[in-house]
Amino acid sequence: MKEIFDSLPKTNLSENDLILIDTCFFIHTFQHQNEKEFAKLCEKEKVAMTDFNVNEFLHVEHKIDERVRENARKWLKKNSCLMVLQTGIHPGNKETERAFVDMIEPRLLEEVEDPSDAVLMAAAIKTHSTVLTRDRHHLFTVKLENYLREFDLKVYNSFKMK
C-alpha cells in the first residue's frame, strides 16, 4: 500500500480549500462500501489525506480486515484523485506533533487533547479545509465545532456535508 500512496499526487500546506480525510474516516469508507460516494467527492472537490494520516493508516493496516484493505487498494489504484498533503510530521513523536500544532495554532491543543488528532486539525486550519472524520472523542465534537467557527471551518462525519 505504501507504494500506492507514494504514487498519489502531492500537495503542500499552501494549498487551500481541501477536504481532508481522517484515518478513521478512510477506513470506515471501505468497511461500509462507500467507495462510489468517495469517488464522487473526489470528482467535484480537492480531496487529500495528510502524510501523517497516510502513515497512521499504514501503521494499522495489518489490523484491518483483508477485504477492507483490498477494497482500499483497488480504489486507490483506480482513483488517483486523492492527494497527499505533505506536513512532514510522522505519527508517534508527540513532541514534533505538538510543535507542528503550536506553529499553526497554539490554542488548538486546548480544544483537541490528543496531539496526533490535533495535527489534522492544524493542517485544516492552515489550508482552510473541511475535515471528514469518524472520531467522536476529539474531532467530531460540539466543543471543537464551536472553536472552529473562528476559522470558518467545518468537521463532518459523513459524505453528506450540510
Query: Which has the closest alpha carbon to 154: 17, 49, 14?
Result: 17
Predicted confidence (pLDDT) at residue 138 exceeds the cutoff of 70: no
Predicted confidence (pLDDT) at residue 139 exceeds the cutoff of 80: no
For residues 62 and 60, what is the distance between their CA atoms, to the nearest angstrom? 6
Which sequence spans correspond to the domains of the chain? 2-152
Average confidence (pLDDT) over 141-155? 89
* pLDDT value for 58: 97
* pLDDT value for 142: 79
Query: Which has the closest alpha carbon to 42: 24, 26, 19, 23?
Result: 19
Predicted confidence (pLDDT) at residue 2 exceeds the cutoff of 70: yes
pTM of the model: 0.94
Query: Which has the closest alpha carbon to 35: 78, 88, 99, 98?
Result: 78
For residues 152 and 59, what is the distance between their CA atoms, to the nearest angstrom? 32
* pLDDT value for 137: 66
Write the CATH number of the domain with boundaries 2-152.
3.40.50.1010
pLDDT band at 79 (very low <50, low <70, confident <90, very high): confident
Q: For residue range 11-69, what is the model confidence (pLDDT) as tens digits?
A: 999 999 999 999 999 999 999 999 999 999 999 999 999 999 999 999 999 999 999 99
Q: Which bin fits 137, alpha (ψ -120 to 50), beta or left (φ > 0)?
A: alpha
For residues 54 and 33, what is the distance between their CA atoms, to the nearest angstrom? 20
Average pLDDT, the chain: 93
Percent of the chain with pLDDT over 70: 98
Per-position DSSP letters for 4-51, written without gaps between them: HHHHS-EEETT--S-EEEPHHHHHHHHHTT-HHHHHHHHHHS-EEEEH
